[in-house]
Each structure stands twice: as structure tokens, then as C-alpha cells.
Structure 1
Amino acid sequence: MSELTDPTDAAATQSSKKGKLLPILLGLVGAASLGGGAFYAVYTGLVLSPNPDQPTAPAHVVKDFSFVPIDVITISLPPQSGARFLRFAGQIEVADSSLETMMHMQPRFIDLINTYLHAVDIDDLREPAALIRLRAQILRRLQMIAGDGHVRDFLITEFILD
């Protein structure tokens, strides 16, 4: 004859499994509740709110800068390039304390950008990441001729291949 399992043993095993899962489940729910509550308290300023005497602008926002414009530069492209010209314009972000000096250097900046754009291969300009590389290369060159701490960023405001 075959052995029959006792129904009381099966019920005991099942309740034993539930007894092991209950504390884990309660712990997860409690941790999620506490985490959500802590996030809400910090987010709304109930806890760790900034000092009202200090400005509330984030630390990474820089307020002492100006822009030196780079007017439109038009470069004729070779006939085999598939485009007739490149129109390019930008803005150089400089420290406010350096604005006057950097404005005097504007012709040098324009010459640098013009020379660099003439040296870039037209196929490189058609790649998806071309503007990112172009911006980084020009920024690095501007920083080198301006000196340390003067040029903070370079913004491309117009880039047209036609």
C-alpha cells in the first residue's frame, strides 16, 4: 500500500513558509515607506532645508560671465564636397572680469575659428557627433590663446552646410 500524507503535516509546512515570508514582506514595505517619507521630507524642505539667508541658486550656476559674439563666418567649400558653403556663428562665454580683454581678442578668436574650420575635412562635419567634437576642439583652442581662467565655454549658435 502507498503511504498517504497527513493533511495536518501539509498545513504545517505551508504555514511555516508563510511565517518566513511575512517578516521579509513587512521589512520591504517598511523600508519603502521610510525611504519615500524621507525623500518627501527632503524634497519639500521639511528636513535639511537651505538657510533662508543664503541665496537658493544651485552651486553650479555661475553668475559672473559674459559672452563675446563670433559673427557669422562663411566658408566656401570645394565643389566635390557636395555643399557650397558652411555658415558658422558662435558665442564665447568668458568671465566678467575678463570681458574687456576678451573683446579686444575677438579678431584673434575669429581668425582661430576661421582657420580651424578651413582645416576640418567636410566629411567630418557630416557625422552625427560633428558639432560636439567641433565645439570641444574650438573651445580648447580658444582657452589656449586666451590663457587660464578666461574662456569658460563656447556655444555654436549657427551651423549650416548648404
Structure 2
Amino acid sequence: MAASFTHAEDDMGHEPPSRPTEYVPVAFVPLETLIVSLGSEASGQHLIVTAELEVDPDYAAEVTTLSPRVLDVLNSYLRVVALEELSEPTSLIRMRAQMLRRIQVVTGAGRVRDLLITQFVVN
């Protein structure tokens, strides 16, 4: 027996978007991987974070030039995050918002649209 669905659904039963998404030009600026010591030096635990900045293409070169300042502000923020906070389910969402806000202050308004976390590991 063949599956039957309407033209408004795909084979998984999902409705298509009501209107096409408009393409917005974007560029990505990769950041160096940060390795931050957590807790006391004796604990030996580290947070490893790799990320990219989603930027307006007109500002990609400028944001790339500012990446040492971006890394500095991220490193400063991450060093004061409590180890216990990292175990909370919503911590990455909250931390990502905090990091993005700091990055936007460093780079200037309208340059960085988003922070994409590609690696977030506590070891």
C-alpha cells in the first residue's frame, strides 16, 4: 500500500515553510580554540571551546583583525565560570549569550550577528 499525503506535506508529514527564507549574505570568522583551566590548578580540569563568529561580510576582515581582543574577552569571562555551572543543562545557552554580548561590545554594533559554538568540552 502506497503512502498517501497531500501536496502541502513532504514524505515525513511536515508542512513546508509558508514563504521562502530570504538569503542574507554571511561570513564566518573562525576563532582559535580556547583552553581554560577550571577550578583550582590541582583539579586539572579544562574547558575547551572552539567557535566561529557569524558576521556581516562587509566587516569580516575588520572582525578578523579584532580576534585577539575577542579571544581576550572570552578567556577572561570563561576563567570565572564556576565548574558547577557547566554541569547545568542550560549553562551553554546562558554562557553563549553572555559571550556574544561581550564580543559585540568589543567588535562594535552590527558587526557580529551570532556566536556558533563548534566544540565545548570539559575534560
Which of the five TM-score ranges fits, normalised by the shorter chain? 0.7 to 0.9
Partners of 2:102 and 2:37 in 1: CA distance: 22
Find out whether 1:120 has 2:81 as its counterpart.
yes
Letter in 2 for 1:124: E
Aligned equivalent of 1:88, options 30, 49, 54: 49
Aligned equivalent of 1:58, options 6, 9, 21: 21
Structure 1 or 2: more strand by fraction = 2
Q: Secondary structure at the match of 2:109?
A: coil
Letter in 2 for 1:144: V
Q: Is this contact kept in 2: 1:81–1:122, CA < 8 A?
A: no
Aligned equivalent of 2:68, options 90, 107, 115: 107
TM-score (norm 1): 0.60
Calculate the aligned-residue CA RMSD, in Å.
2.2
Structure 1 or 2: more helix by fraction = 1
* Superimposed CA distance per residue, residues 13-52 of structure 1 (whole angstroms, 9 cap, x where no aligned partner): xxxxxxxxxxxxxxxxxxxxxxxxxxx68x49xxxxxxxx
Find out whether 1:161 has 2:122 as its counterpart.
yes
Q: Is this contact kept in 2: 1:93–1:152, CA < 8 A?
A: yes
Q: Where does residue 92 of structure 2 map in the other structure?
A: 131
Q: Secondary structure at the match of 1:109?
A: helix
Offset at 1:78?
2.5
Letter in 1 for 2:66: M
* Superimposed CA distance per residue, residues 40-74 of structure 1 (whole angstroms, 9 cap, x where no aligned partner): 68x49xxxxxxxxxxx8513x42x11111112111
TM-score (norm 2): 0.78
Q: Secondary structure at the match of 2:114?
A: strand
Partners of 1:81 and 1:135 in 2: CA distance: 27
Q: Secondary structure at the match of 1:148?
A: coil
Query: Bigger relative contact order, structure 1 or 2, given CA contacts below 8 A and separation 6+?
Result: 2
Offset at 1:148?
1.4
Aligned length: 109
Q: Where does residue 33 of structure 2 map in the other structure?
A: 72
Q: Percent identity?
A: 35
Q: Is this contact kept in 1: 2:38–2:82, CA < 8 A?
A: no
Q: Is this contact kept in 1: 2:39–2:82, CA < 8 A?
A: no
Q: Which blocks of at least 5 consecutive residues in structure 1 are unaligned?
A: 1-39, 45-55
